[in-house]
Structure formats: C-alpha cells, structure tokens
Structure 1
Amino acid sequence: MPTPLSAAPFRHAHDREIFRLAVPTFFALVAEPLFLLTDSAVVGTLGTAALGGLGVAGQILTTLAAVCIFLAYGTTAAVARTYGAGDIAGGVRHGVDALWLAALIGGAAVLAGWPLAPWLVDTLGASPDVAPHALLYLRISLLSTPALLIVMAGTGVLRGLQDATTPLVVAVASYLGNAALCITMVLGLGMGIAGSAWATVIAQSAGALVYVVVAGRAARRHRISLAPSLAGLRSAASAGFALFLRTVSLRIVALVTTAVAARLGDDEIAAHQVAFQMWSLLVFAMDAIAIAGQSIIGRYLGAGDVPGTRAATRRMVEWGVLVGLAFTVLVFAALPWAPAPFTSDPRVAGLIMSVLVVVALMQPLSGVVMVLDGILMGAGDQRYLAWASLWTMLVFLPCALLVLWATPDGSNFGLVGLWLAFTVWIAARGVTLATRARGGAWLVVGATRP
C-alpha cells in the first residue's frame, strides 16, 4: 500500500509513477493521430472532396469509438481499484467480461451503422461532391468496429494492471501497419479512399487478435474462465453508462463543430479536418497524463490512501499545465509549414494556419481539463462527469450556431469563430472539473466504488 510521504520526496515519487505510466501511454496515444494525419495526407492527394469525405466519415467513426470509450476508461478505473486492493484475479475477470461486451457492442454497431450510413453522412452536411467519398469510407471502416472496441477493452485491462508498455507495442505496430497499408492501397494499387478504409480494417483486426491472446493467457494464469459472465457483463455495462452519457455530450460537440464547418463550405471542412486531427494529436498527448491518472488514482483509492490521492492529483495538474505551455510554443513554431503536407490550395492552407493559432493558445487550459477529467474518471466519479459534460455542451451549442448564423458566404472568419466557440466549451469544462476536484465528494476509497 502506498504510504504518505513528506511533501518534497512525495512529489518526486509521483513523478516516477506518472512517467512510468504516462510515457508509454503518450507514445501509444500520439501514434493514433499521427497515423490518422498520415491517412489525411495520403487521401489529400486524391483532392479536396476526398479529404473532406475522410473528415466527415472520420467524425462519425470517432464518435462511435468515443461513446464506447468506457470500455477502456471504465475498465482501467475498475481494474486499478482491484489491483490496489490486491485482487488481481478479480481485475482479470472484469477484463474478460469487458472484452465480451466490446465484441457484442461492436457487432451491433456494424449491423445498425451500415443502413444508417447515408443518413449519417447527410446529417453532417456533406456536399454532393464530398458525400460519396464519405459514404464509401464509412461503410468499409465500420467492419473494423468490433476489433476496435476489443482493443479498447484490452487496453483498459492492462493499464488498470499498471502495464502501459504492452498497449504501446500493440498501438505502434497497428498504426505502422495501417500507414503502410494505406500508402500501398491508395497510392500503389490505386484503390482510392477505399484503400485507406481497408487498411484500417486489417490493422485493427490484427491489434484485437493480440489482446484476445494476452487476455486468454492472463485468464489461464489466474484460473479465470474465458466464458462470459452475465453478472459481469451487466456490471461492466452499468458502470459504463454514465461514461457513455459523458462521451455522448463530448461527441455532440465534435459532431456539431464538424457539421457547422461542412456548412461553411468545402474549403472549411477540409481545413477543419486537418486542424481537428492536429488538435487531437496534442490532446491525445496530454491524455497520457490523464490516463496515467486513471491508473494511479484508482490504485491509491483502492488502497485507501487519500493523502496520496491528493498529492498525485496536484502533481498531475502541474504537469498538465507545463505540457500545455510546451505545445503552445510547438504549434507556433510549426505554423508556417503546417498546411504543406495536406493541401496545395492556398485558401485551405490559410484557413488551417488561422485555426492553428486558436489551437495553440488553448493548449495550457486543455492540459488542465484533460488531466482533471482523467483523475475524476480514475476515482469512479462518472456520474458527476456525465452531468458536467451535459451542461458544458449546452454552453457550447448556441455559440456554434451563432457562428453559422452570423457568417456571410465566402467569409474567411467563420471557421476561426467556430474554433473560438470550441475554446469557450473547453473553458466551461475547466470550471466544472476544477470545482469538483477542490472538494472531497469524489474521494471514495475501497476495492469497489458504491
């Protein structure tokens, strides 16, 4: 069990914990948007309409993955608590049930998503030129959904067991394979945007197979049955429901942002796709500290160490601010060259650069938001996170719609205004999360959270 230490040594001890989990998690997380940017660069060679189609379909697929993120985050928190309490076998049992739940949800998503695909693309406001590309990419990529969700659940199990290295190896191998397949299929074989989608299906399926093998070995080692448990499935689903509501609110914000950008014009949605992927790259990097926070906070609360929880929280917030400031400098330094890999259209390039100024300035605040979100998630405070996400979404929606209403045709400022509205949403999240973290209602100790 972790023991409280004096202030200065305690800080260094937490740095070691944070770095041990956050560094491999950072590289695992940063791999995804990096290779999504590779996909964007490859698909961008097919033209603005194809790149816009990738942006529209990508938002739908990202939303599907995001609303199921409880398979990773909820599993991490639950397994970390059992680990802190010394019940590793119980954590493996929870993980096996989470993998089964992931497979079931993924299969249902494919069956529902295929007939709904045209309506989803149209709902996001894709133009007649963009829509065919978006529909083709979406329908093929939907086939990878069960594998994607299995990867999420498997990642959550291992991180809860304080293993961030194995998810790093799987993520990097999957995304390297995806990038190589995308380049080969799109540019080498001339398969167009369909080649990029098939590359995703193959790479995700290979990653899922690895997690199934790893989970099977752990289950045999701890004498846990690989058969699904009805009670376990029910527990995993109910524990994730609040996280589902939280993530739905977050994804509505992302979807509305994409829908408004699409209605501003084809140049705007193409620029938004690139800027959003760059923002995701930075956020995912900061999310490494947040995910380390899930594992660390869950373990400390499972072991009953409230002082350790407070000290770890304080230190992780400090790291969030420092990393955010570093990313602000990085984005400004890269600004003159940022559009070059994605487009040769001068207007799209100008829009990308303008939006990236906003992205750069929001980074320190984003760092605090990401870290506090991970800390409260690791504590199992999902109900508060769900309500806070709902209210901050309601703050954002009128701001985004105001941008659409107030932007004249052909204006270069609509997309920047949309990202300023997005910054207002980030600030609102910061207020709600910081208010909760300063209190003590989230500090519930024990192997399970009532």
Structure 2
Amino acid sequence: MSRSVPSLALPALVVLAAEPLYLLVDTAVVGNLGTTALGGLAVGGGLLAWAAALLNFLAYGTTARAARRAGAGDRAGAVAEGVQATWLALGIGVVVTLGFQLAAGPLTRLLAGGAGPVATAAEGWLRIASLGLPLLLVSLAGNGWLRGVQELRRPVVFVLAGSLLSLVLNPLLVYTAGMGLVGSAWANVAGQTVTALLFLRSLASERVAWRPRPRALGVQLVIGRDLLLRAFVLQAAFATAAGVVARSSTAELGAHQIALQLWLFLALVLDAYAVAAQTLVGQALGAGRVAEARATALRVVWWGLGTGVLVAAVLLAVRPVLPGVFTDDPAVLAQAAVVWWFLALMQPLAGVVFALDGVLMGAGDVGYLRTVTIGAALVGFVPLSLLSVPLGWGLAGVWSGLTLFIALRLVAVVVRVLGDRWTRASVTVGA
C-alpha cells in the first residue's frame, strides 16, 4: 500500500535540511575565529558543496531504480541497486578526493583571488574535509535505495546522528582543542563517518550479495550522466548570475546573496515533494499501475502548488521585516525590496516544477529532464542574466532570468506529464 505524500515528504525534508542547517552552525562557530577563517571556510566549503551537489545523482538515480524493483515485488533487487550505488559512490568519492588533494592549492587560490591567508586557510580545510567525501556519497546512495523501498525513518535517524556528532565536536575541536579552522573540517569528517557506517550497517542487514556488477554499474552511470550534466548546467547558470551581479553594485550583490540563500533553502522544502513523487511513481510503474502513477502526479502537484502559495504569502507578509534580519544597510534593503517580489511570486511555480521533476525522475525520464533543464537555462536564465548589465536591468534582470527559467521548465514538464511517454520511460535494472 502506497504511503501518503506528506508521510514521505516530511522525513525527506529533515534529511535535505540537515546539512544546510549544520553548515549555518559551522559558519557561526568558525566566524568567531575571524574573517580569514570565515573566508577560508567559504572558499573550501563552496568547493566541497559544489562537488556534492553535482554528485547528488547517487541519491536521485538510485531512488528511481530501487522504487521500480520494489514496486514489482522484488525487494532484494531494490536493495541490490543500493549495493551497486554504494560501490559507485566509493569509486567516485575516492577519485574526487584524490583530485582535491592534488588540486586543493590551485583551486582555493583561484577562488580566493590569489595566494594569501584566506587561500591558505581554505586549502588546509579542504584537504581534511574532502576525506569525508566518499562517506558522504555512500550516504547519498543509502538514502536512494531506502527511499526506493519507502523507508524514510532510518535515513532521518542516520543523518541526524552524524549531524549531532558534528555539532558537538565542532566547537570542542575548534575552540577547546585549539585546532581552529581544521577542527571544523575534522568535525565534518567525523559526522560523515558515523552516518555512512549506519547506512552501510543497514545495507548489510539485508543480506544481499556485495560483489560489484559491471552491467548494473554501467546502467547507473548512464542515468547518473544525465543527472550530472543537468546539475552541472544548473550550477554554471547560477555561477553566471552571481558573476553578473558581482560586477554591479555591492548593494545588489548583498541583496542577491540574501534572496538566493532563501530561494535555495525554500527549494529544499519544495524538493521534499519531488522525493515523495520519485518513490511513489517509481513503485507504481514498477507494479504496472499506470493510473496510480498518474494520480500520484496530480497529488504531488497540488501539494507543491499549495505549499508554494503558502510560502509566497508568508514571504510577502514578512517583506517589511525579514530582510532587516540579514542587514541594516539601506542600499541593500532597497535592492532586496526589488528582488523580494520575484522570490515570493516564483514559489508556486517552483512548487509545481519540483514536484513534476520528481514524477519524471521516478519514471526514469531523466533524459527529458536533462534536455529541458539545459534548454531553459540556455534560453532563459543565462541570456537574461548576461543582458542585465548592458541593458541596465540590474538585479531585476537577473531574477527575471531565474523566473523565466522556472516558467520554461514548468511548461515543459506539464506538457510531458499530460502525455503518455513518461509512463513508458525505461529504468533498466541491472542483472
């Protein structure tokens, strides 16, 4: 029996929000060390977060494949997808970690604007923190297969256990042990170790074969390729927008940072419906219940739309107050007032887009999602962002680009779901 959308979305939200909330605490702890340490954390943490965002396909791709097998009554096969995803996570994680170890210096100097104390601090933090990347990827794979079999309570427990350990260790290592910024890095690694071990123990308790299967790994890599390319274009589009704003006034840059961080946090809230949709649609199609998959798509659309409208109303209600929590600079507040309307009114559109993204991911229609996302970024987001400077549109132009990006994706995913091709999308399972 399929569970309700909220019963899957709420625990997914906890898992999605745990890392960003921990990073806020980490920033507060390190911030008391001074601007050099804070700058080092921003540069090193930004690089690590960028890698983790690109490799998030280990969770989303695994969910779709595991859900299909679980829906067909093959729980052992669903867990086997988790095993192969774990091997893939370890392999990719080791390669990326080695890359960071070799290139930490040049990368941090590039982002920090050259050699100096911030680049040195960032390099030291990144060399240690990147040791936890394979463990983080193992956790993503574990999240994927557990979502696929509709077990979301265990990921919540595992992620919170690791996050709480990091929260306790962070100030102890940074201040009490006198380790400074590197203490923050070791606290990260410790928490990721605990979380990964819990996911591995959960996988081991299923008593399935642990040997890697090249065919299954190859199929996962194909799905991962589409999701990775999609994520890369997204990251590049946001980086382009940030670069455009950075060349405008400092006030616009500050307002953009405030609005963007709120947008990214709210995207996590709405993305919880995508996780629920993936699981429910994948299982329904795996069992051959196409009508149920369509009904699920309609349900998550209503949940996403309703939540988006609610979030928009709250944002508009707190518009006179909330920006002042982040800054008291009149110029920044004036720019925030402009961008706030884009931020708020975009939420209902984003709620539907993210929900239907989950529907198509659960159906295995990731190739279509890849093409749509890249097209919307190249046609809408990036051009309007780049035109903002010569046309004098400023921050409003950049956020018009982001709004158009969401609107184009909305049209594309709605048209797709109204048709039949997504219900026949192939999620090949490995033998």
Interval containing the TM-score (normalised by the shorter chain): 0.7 to 0.9
Work out whether 1:72 is the aligned partner of 2:59.
yes
Match of 1:424 in 2: 404
For residues 88-131 of structure 1, the C-alpha deviation after alignment (integer angstroms, 9 at most, x for no partner) is 11111111111011000000001112333344446557587865
Selected match of 1:152 from 137, 140, 155: 140
User: 1:275: Cα distance to partner?
Assistant: 4.0
For residues 176-208 of structure 1, the C-alpha deviation after alignment (integer angstroms, 9 at most, x for no partner) is 333333344445556544333332222112111
Selected match of 2:185 from 188, 197, 211: 197
Unpaired stretches in structure 2, ≥5 consecutive residues: none
Selected match of 1:369 from 353, 361, 365: 353
User: 1:333: Cα distance to partner?
Assistant: 4.5
* Secondary structure of residue in 2 paired with 1:442: helix
Match of 2:161 in 1: 173
Decide whether the 8 Å contact of 1:76 with 1:294 is kept in 2: yes
Matches of 1:363 and 1:129 in 2, distance apart? 40
**Counterparts in 2 of 1:198-213, with a 5 A limit?**
198-213=186-201
Larger displacement relative to structure 2 (377-386 or 167-176): 167-176
User: 1:145: Cα distance to partner?
Assistant: 1.0
Decide whether the 8 Å contact of 2:387 with 2:397 is kept in 1: no
Q: 1:164 to 1:234 in 2, by over 3 A?
A: same
Selected match of 1:433 from 413, 423, 431: 413
CA RMSD of aligned residues (A): 3.2
Matches of 1:161 and 1:36 in 2, distance apart? 29
* Secondary structure of residue in 1 paired with 2:19: helix
Larger displacement relative to structure 2 (294-303 or 58-67): 58-67
Unpaired stretches in structure 1, ≥5 consecutive residues: 3-13, 408-412
Decide whether the 8 Å contact of 1:40 with 1:274 is kept in 2: no
* Secondary structure of residue in 1 paired with 2:424: coil
Larger displacement relative to structure 2 (144-153 or 347-356): 347-356
Decide whether the 8 Å contact of 2:241 with 2:382 is kept in 1: no
Selected match of 2:422 from 442, 445, 450: 442
Selected match of 1:233 from 205, 214, 217: 217
**Structure 2 letter corresponding to 1:205:** T
Match of 2:384 in 1: 399
TM-score of the superposition, structure 2-length normalised? Answer: 0.87
TM-score of the superposition, structure 1-length normalised? Answer: 0.84
Decide whether the 8 Å contact of 2:219 with 2:428 is kept in 1: no
Q: 1:113 to 1:406 in 2, by over 3 A?
A: farther
Match of 1:91 in 2: 78
Matches of 1:283 and 1:197 in 2, distance apart? 26
For residues 214-257 of structure 1, the C-alpha deviation after alignment (integer angstroms, 9 at most, x for no partner) is 11111x1xxx2222222322222223222222222222223333
Work out which structure has the larger RCO, using CA pairs closer than 8 Å and 6 or more positions apart in sequence.
1
| Identity within the alignment, % | 42
Q: 1:203 to 1:342 in 2, by over 3 A?
A: farther
Match of 2:99 in 1: 112
Matches of 1:435 and 1:234 in 2, distance apart? 30
User: 1:156: Cα distance to partner?
Assistant: 0.2
Matches of 1:187 and 1:347 in 2, distance apart? 36
Decide whether the 8 Å contact of 1:85 with 1:446 is kept in 2: no
**Structure 2 letter corresponding to 1:419:** W
Decide whether the 8 Å contact of 1:83 with 1:160 is kept in 2: yes
